[in-house]
Amino acid sequence: MYILLIIFITFLVLNEFYVIDFSTNLRNIFIFLTLILILLTSMKEILSGKNGFIKFLNILTLLCTVVGGIFSIVKGQLNTFIYICLIFSLINGVIVLTYSKT
């Protein structure tokens, strides 16, 4: 799941900087799938994680996702909380993939 999360975030960043040009529907699909993966991975690590830092990072990611989603719906635009959520998700994905023992 972390590899897919990193790939989707990379696609969204490349689309944001006009390196790749996705249609609006495809962009919205990537945003939705990324949000679902962020929520799933954060909840999985919170419920089963043993490391204190990873659990703390996932709690912050989950809180930023919820607050950023609410502000995004109210204001109709992306905000800082969503960008923080994406950065925390990338850091978490890289840490978990790097220190994975399997």
Residue in this structure with the two tokens 């990611």, named with its chain if needed:
61
pTM for this model (two decimals): 0.85
Nearest to 44, CA basis, from 61, 32, 31, 30? 61
Residues in contact with 8: Cβ distance below 8 Å, sequence separation at least 6, in sequence order: 30, 33, 34, 37
pLDDT of 102 above 70: no
In this prediction, residues 59-80 reach a mean pLDDT of 87
pLDDT of 96 above 90: no
Give residue 49's pLDDT. 67
**Residue bearing the bigger pLDDT, 77 or 11:** 11
